Amino acid sequence: MSLLREAERCVANQYAHGFNAFITPLSRAGPWLDRVKEADVRKQEGKPKSAVDGRLISIKDNICTRDLPTTCASGILDKFTSPFNATVVDQLEASGAIVAGKTNLDEFGMGSNSTNSHFGPVKNPRQDSSGEDLSAGGSSGGSAASVAADQCYASLGTDTGGSVRLPAAYTGTVGFKPSYGLISRWGVVAYANSLDTVGIMGKTTANVRDIFVRRAWALSLAHLKKQGHTVHSVSLPDTKHALSTYYVLGPAEASSNLAKYDGVRYGARAEGPDGDGKPDGYLFSNTRGQGFGQEVKRRIVLGTFTLSADAIDNYFIQAQRVRRLVQQDFDAVFTAKHPLAAQGADKIAKANDVDVIICPTAPSSPPRLSDLMSNSTKKSPLDAYVTDVFTVPASLAGLPAISVPVTVSGQQDAELAGIQVIGQYGDDQLVMKVGEMLEGRNLD
Amino acid sequence: MLRPWIGSGTLRSLRVQRLSRSSLSFPKAPFSSAPNRYLQPPTSADRVPLRKQLKQEAKALRSHKKQRKETEEASRQEWELTVGVEIHAQLDTEAKLFSRAATSTSDTPNSNVALFDLAFPGSQPEFQIATLLPALRAAIALNCEIQPVSRFDRKHYFYQDQPAGYQITQYYEPFARNGYVDLFDYDGIAPEDGERVRIDIKQLQLEQDTAKSQEYPPSTQLLDFNRVSHPLIEIITMPQIHTPATAAACVRKLQAIVQSCGAVTTGMEMGGLRADVNVSVRRRGEAAGQHQYDGITGLGQRTEIKNLSSFKAVEDAIIAEKNRQIEVLESGGVIEGETRGWTIGSTETRRLRGKEGSVDYRYMPDPDIPPLIIGEDLLSSLRESLPTAPDTLLTLLVGSEFNLPIEDAKPLIELDDGARLEYYHDVVDILRSLQVDQDDKTRAGLARVASNWVLHELGGLLAKADQAWDAEIVPARSLAHLIDHLQRKLITGPTAKQVLATIFDGDRRPVPQLLEEENLLLRPLSREEYLALAESVIALNPQMVEQIRSKNQLGKLGWFVGQMMRTGEKGRVEAPKAEEILRELILG
């Protein structure tokens, strides 16, 4: 099939079965058509620019694009268009890829079901046995749905505490969170800077690698240790605190990062004079009150509290200590030494050490959207936070992790599960390799 | 405070202007400001004779000053004042702290702004390494321990001049600690502090400036983001200052040091440097206070006065705040820990926000900026290239080589960022080589003569023309030749001044040629010519001669000298000789 056919089919799918995956879909006609045709010519001549030359890549709407709006699914950036492209977008375009539109998400990346969006919830292309709509996972739910529904070749999401892996697990796609810092965050709207990572979603690990490999070589991290192919159980004693640590640090950084949205220099402003029109009123109170959704407000308040003078020692600073312990837990069980560990702190490998850790991505299969949205069955925000329990540890430690779909035969409903592979910092290639071994396996 | 180089005409108008102000808080004129500003006649329309008005005002001023001095001394006896100072100074850098946008103070508003400076979504900070150089120079000049590792933190508060909702600063781990500044009597410290007082510096930190706001009441504010993220250093002293005068001297000295080491170019008068002070009092001889700040215990509750923009304001605000605190305590009240403000010309600080309204800045390490690691190699090369400290220069100038009075040495060092001093050195070097044939005593006095001409004569011309310093207006060589001729009595003093003005106005002929062509070289009058001249002026004013003789009013001799200079041939009458002849004729 030609690249053009493939691309046109993707765009047709964007308009045919929405799933509300896109906030800004790709227009049916546009200069991108010519760029795909050129890529087809290069492909026929055997000289493609890259593995993604002429492919449609959808971009999560918290990654800046010059040509399409970047809303972060927030009312406060309702009509905002960034004056510049994120580095990852420039790199993709330089490789011949086409931005396939901007995908829906939880506002500023805060959520686990992609229901906290100013533009409405994302639907999972999969339905449960009774035909009920399911959660696509969050916060990169739009990216996951766009991949699952063949609306693009692959997608860029962001993963702060599991936001790429969880939706991959829910939608039966592959979601890869590289080592922290490996992919540029320039132009990625910050939620929690010390955790934010650009992640890649695709139908298969191969699709994901097409995009990823180009970055990995550039950074030439030492990788790929010999695989043992043996299974060991490992203990990560402090990791039980990871989830609460994440929900202290994430909101703290978010409360700081989101302070800039005051509607003074860009973004939406509330109608009429702000600050109740009083001379000593705040210039931004109505604007922020109207622009942000519930979950974002909740996390700003949480973060503001954990950074306040009376609470910072018990919350923010304590959480930073626990974060270090979580990282040390991983270092203790991996064969490979952390490449950024202090000089001289030589790692003595033990017999039981492992190359990768394999665990579920999500503790359960995707919840029904109707359960999430209806008031009678609506659960507390904490229930959604618990969904991140398996994904958050790797985020805190900055480790590469991938979620691949694995089919369990016999059961209709929970036939598909996301399995997560976590590796040592910089072991991104190994993680993908192991992911590929498991991907699509039909296990008895 | 009046600069000696201000000509007598200027002096008079200046005094008129000064005394006609009812406020007693006339700000000190900074060196570089043009006295021209004060030349306009007073605008007051009252009909009181000027001379009378001046006298009354001068008297009121004197008695007010005396009274203030007495009450200040009384309160000082009973209460101990403690002050710490925080200074924010704009570093002299090309780029902003975290973006490549240029720094500017005079460009079109909002023309030098990067996306990060406006906190655009997705923008990232890029630390500009070059901003470290002036910051480190300041830290070295202030005798600080420079930290091998320091970090940046976010200080959160909402205000429209702060685009990100936080300022990036160094709160937990600043780049320099434990410095000090020495203040001497000539720096203007209070007499009770003696000859020297050392103020410890707690730390120096790098941080971003905010946007500049312009208020158009009631409801318009314009924002200029050119200033946003201009690199600043904040200098924090220990609370070790105990008099208002010493606090002002400390701010002045800190400004002079950071300017002379090339860290900072614009001073307080241009808004490039702002000061906050914290003030507390406690009764002497009583139990130690409950409070401790920066490790100094036993202090009273302190308040902070923000954003003082002149040395005078620092001193006045501290006096006012000290007196307010004493008044509160003496009437049985309690001092609240609060932030206060000061308006120039007022007599009271005003409350900005109290403790209950105090801002919790929620300091958080910035997750986007890596730690700053400073190597010893960089420090040692900076130490070598640092210019001589002002105190060292001062010691040199008042020492035996130059023998200048301190009131000349200080302006020479402080004026024009050291350019005046460099020029002065050039003049002295040339002059000394020209006078190599003279005796030791004459040559020893040259440095002092030269400083008089560089500071007062040349300075006076600059002030009158409202012109900025430029060493080429009167080349050092020309001035040296002029002084050489004067020293050799080849020209008179008035001629020398007149020639200086000619050169100042652009005459580029070499001095010897100029003197020759303009026929200005002194052709001394003979004794007979002096006698004839003296007799002619005496004959016209017999009654004054009588007064000199009978009442011994020798001061009037000077008037006759002036008459002789005026009536005699221009440039030929030498005042000392004229006086000698007059004495001979009148007093016998």
Domain boundaries, chain A: 3-230+354-377+397-443
Q: Which residues of A touch B359 (CB under 8 A)?
A: none
- Predicted confidence at residue B47, as pLDDT, reads 67
Q: What share of chain A is helix, strand, coil (3-state, %, to 5)?
A: 40, 15, 45
B160 contacts on A by Cβ (under 8 Å): 262, 264, 283
> What's the confidence (pLDDT) of residue B356?
59
Collect all residues of chain B within an 8 Å Cβ-Cβ radius of residue A187.
122-123
- pLDDT per position as a tens digit, A374-426: 766 666 777 788 889 899 999 999 999 999 887 765 544 446 778 889 999 99
**Inter-residue contact B548 to B557 (CB < 8 Å):** yes
Residues paired with residue A292 on neighbouring β-strands, in sequence order: none
Contacts for A23 with CB less than 8 Å, ≥ 6 apart: A61, A69, A71, A73, A102, A103, A104, A117, A119, A142
- Burial class from Cβ neighbours inside 10 Å (0-12, 13-18, 19+) for residue B343 reads exposed
Choose among A186, A265, A308: nearest Cβ to B163: A265
CA A187 to chain centre: 15
pLDDT of residue B12: 35
Tokens coding B472: 């080429």
Mean of pLDDT values over A228-238: 69
Nearest Cα residue to B150 out of B386, B366, B381? B366
> What's the whole-number mean pLDDT along residues A142-164?
96
Closest Cβ–Cβ partner in B124, B166, B360 for A309: B360
Domain extents in chain B:
8-72, 73-353+364-372, 388-517, 527-587
**pLDDT for residue A220 is more than 70:** no
- Give the pair of three-digit tokens for residue B329: 């305590």
Mean pLDDT for the stretch of residues A236-245:
89
Q: What is residue B497's predicted lDDT score, i.e. its pLDDT?
A: 93
Name the nearest CA neighbour of A359 among A389, A327, A320, A324.
Answer: A389
B218 contacts in chain A (CB < 8 Å) = 279
Instruction: Identify the closest residue of chain A to B370 by CA–CA distance.
Output: A194
Tens of pLDDT, residue by residue over A27-76, are 999 999 999 999 999 999 999 999 999 999 999 999 999 999 999 999 99
Count of all residues that appear for chain B in the document = 588
> How many Å apart are CA B389 and CA B391, to the nearest integer?
5
CB distance from A304 to chain B under 8 Å?
yes
Instruction: List, as ranges, residues 302-361 from B with C-beta within 8 Å of A.
Output: 360
CA B68 to chain centre: 24
In whole angstroms, what separates CA A5 from the centre of its chain?
A: 28
Q: What is the mean pLDDT of residues A83-107?
A: 96
Q: Which two tokens stand for residue A419?
A: 């399995």
d(CA A328, CA A341): 10
Confidence (pLDDT) at B31 = 37
Would an 8 Å CB–CB cutoff place B217 in contact with chain A?
no
Instruction: Yes or no: say if B565 and B575 are a contact pair by the CB < 8 Å rule.
Output: yes
What does DSSP assign to residue B243? S
Pick the closest to residue A134 from A408, A360, A416, A443 (CA basis): A416
How far apart CA A2 and CA B326 sit, in angstroms, is: 87
Residue where the block lists tokens 């699952």: A148
pLDDT digits (tens, 9 = 90+) for B128-160: 999 999 999 999 999 999 999 999 999 998 888
How many other C-beta atoms are found inside a 10 Å radius of the C-beta of residue B70?
A: 10
What is the CATH topology of the domain spanning A3-230+354-377+397-443?
Amidase signature (AS) enzymes (3.90.1300)
For residue A213, the model assigns a pLDDT of 39
Q: Are B521 and B492 in contact (CB under 8 A)?
A: no
Judged by CB atoms closer than 8 Å, whether chains meet at B368 and A312 is answered as no
> Catalytic residue at A58?
no
Cβ-defined contact of A63 to B156 (cutoff 8 Å): no
pLDDT at B572: 80
Report yes or no: A262 and A284 within 8 Å, Cβ to Cβ: yes
Task: Decide if A192 touches B, using CB distance below 8 A.
Answer: yes
Q: How far apart are CA A134 and CA A122, in angstroms?
A: 9
CB atoms inside a 10 Å sphere around CB A119: 19
Provide the 8-state DSSP code for B264: B
Distance between CA atoms of A427 and A439, rounded to whole angstroms? 18
Give the max Cα distance, chain B.
95
pLDDT band, residue A211 (cuts 50/70/90): low
Taking the C-alpha atoms of residue B200 and residue A377, their distance in angstroms, rounded to an integer, is 64
Q: Omega before B218 cis (within 30°)?
A: yes
pLDDT on residue A349: 63
Pull the structure tokens for residue B28.
Answer: 């000190």
* Token pair recorded at residue A359: 């665990």
Q: What is the pLDDT of residue A219?
A: 31
* Residue ranges of chain B with per-residue pLDDT less than 50: 1-44
Shortest Cα–Cα distance, A197 to chain B (Å):
13
Q: Is the pLDDT of residue A216 over 70?
A: no
- Please compute Rg for chain B using Cα positions: 29
For residues B414 and A251, the model is more confident at A251
pLDDT above 80 for A344: no
Report d(CA A37, CA B93) in Å as an integer.
50
List the one residue out of A115, A101, A116, A109 whose CA is nearest residue A154: A101
Quote the minimal CA–CA distance from A187 to chain B in Å.
Answer: 4
Percent of chain A surpassing pLDDT 70: 86
Q: What is the mean pLDDT of chain A?
A: 87
Q: Are strands A197-202 and A154-159 parallel, antiparallel or unpaired?
A: antiparallel
Q: What pLDDT score was predicted for residue B18? A: 34
Q: Residue B385 burial by CB count (10 A; 0-12/13-18/19+): exposed, middle or buried? A: exposed
Q: In terms of residues, how long is chain A? A: 444
Nearest-Cα distance to chain A for B225, in Å, is: 11
Residues of chain B in contact with residue A72, where contact means CB-CB under 8 angstroms, are 121
| Closest C-alpha to A142, from A211, A215, A62, A205 | A62
CB contact (8 A) between residue B165 and residue A84 = no
Does the N-terminal peptide bond of residue B8 adopt cis geometry, omega within 30 degrees of 0? Answer: no
Average pLDDT value for residue range A231-238: 75
Please identify which of the residues A114, A139, A140, A179 carries the catalytic annotation. A139
Q: Is A82 within 8 Å of B118 when comparing Cβ atoms?
A: no
Is A50 one of the annotated active-site residues of the chain? Answer: no
Q: Check CB contact of A309 with chain B, cutoff 8 Å.
A: yes
In tens, the pLDDT along B433-466 reads: 999 888 888 888 899 999 999 999 999 999 999 8
**Contact criterion met (CB below 8 Å) for A170 and A112:** no
Residue A206, exposed/middle/buried by CB under 10 A (0-12, 13-18, 19+)? middle
Tell me the C-alpha distance between A303 and A294, whole Å: 14
Q: What pLDDT, on a 0 to 100 scale, did the predictor assign at position A441?
A: 63
Of A84, A188, A255, the CB nearest to B115: A84
